[in-house]
Amino acid sequence: MKPILIAANWKMHKTLSEGQELTSTLINWLRRQKTSELQIILLPSFIHLTAIHSLLASDLPLALGAQNCHDKASGAFTGEVSSAMLASAGVQYVLVGHSERRGVYQEDHEVLAAKVDAALAEGIRPIFCCGEPSHERTQHTHEAYIVKQLEKSLLHLSPAQLAQVIIAYEPVWAIGTGHIPDADAIAAMQKSIRAVIARRYTPSLAEDVRLLYGGSCNAQNVQSFLAIEGVDGVLVGNASVQAKDFLPLLEAVL
Ligand code: PGA
């Protein structure tokens, strides 16, 4: 059985010592559990990646991810971080297309496609986020909206490349709000995502691609998301930032 993926998006939270303390707490918890059912991916700020990486141990199911990367390999881009830099800091995963990047930083389909390519070129697995704003759901256009996000930024990949991508379905209106779609709606969307991949590639690749749900996931509701057919894990924001919220969430999964 493949482990359940739990990606912890710390966003712009936590100082260095707070991030180190949470990581150490998680490591102690994992050592006590001895579980092989989980794979946790920590997504701290760029400047803390190296310090957090130095705490990780290869026998634990705890990996490092970044929240963003630049779309070019290198160059005169002041203040930016390339995927080669991330790989050299021990990063194995990177978020691409989070709704905050799409919305606040106006990242479009083309730049996100280039970020996916840049990450894969360095052996980093993109966690590609897709999700509709609320008006798309009320107008029943949410499925077409997600298909377009996939078409424009992911479906140019070769089958071997796509197999490296983790797709996170995160309805924009569910992020940080406490509002969540019902289980049938999440299942329907996961099914549509796999159907698009099956049509463009093969049914077996569609089955193998790892799909996450994200948006207001916490200790109380995580089991209900993981019980949905096709959901391989969760992308957690707020509930991943404090040990008092994150450890109960992990305990609820086991
Ligand atoms: P949330 O964030 O869990 O706080 O809703 C999820 C995310 O932004 O990935």
Round to whole Å and give the CA distance between 90 and 93.
9
- Tell me the per-residue pLDDT of 161-197, one tens digit each, with 9 for 90 and over: 999 999 999 999 999 999 999 999 999 999 999 999 9
Q: Which of 105, 108, 109, 89 is nearest to 45 (CA)?
A: 89
Among 180, 179, 172, 98, CA closest to 132: 172
Block means of pLDDT (10 residues each) for the chain, 254 residues, are: 94 98 97 89 98 96 97 98 98 97 97 98 98 93 96 97 98 94 94 97 97 98 96 98 98 94
The pLDDT, as a whole number, for residue 139 is 93
- Which CATH architecture best describes the domain 73-216? Alpha-Beta Barrel (3.20)
Q: Which of 177, 217, 234 to mutate to test the pocket of ligand 1 (most atoms within 8 A of CB)?
A: 217
With b for 16 or more beta-carbon neighbours within 10 A and e for fewer, the 188-206 pattern comes to bbbebbbebbeebbeeebb
Q: Which of 48, 70, 98, 142 is catalytic?
A: 98
- The answer to whether 218 and 241 are in contact (CB under 8 A) is no
| pLDDT of res. 2 | 87
For residue 108, the model assigns a pLDDT of 98
**Structural domain spans, the chain:** 73-216
pLDDT of residue 237: 98
**pLDDT-above-70 percentage for the chain:** 100
Which amino acid belongs to residue 167? I
Are 226 and 4 within 8 A, CB to CB? yes
Pocket test residue of 235, 241, 242 for ligand 1, highest count of atoms within 8 A of CB: 235
Q: Which atom of ligand 1 is nearest to the CA of 236?
A: 3
Q: Which of 132, 136, 143, 170 is catalytic?
A: 170
pTM over 0.75: yes
Strands (E), 69-225: 93-96, 125-130, 166-169, 210-214
- What residues are paired with 213 via a beta bridge? 169, 234
Q: What is the pLDDT of residue 123?
A: 98
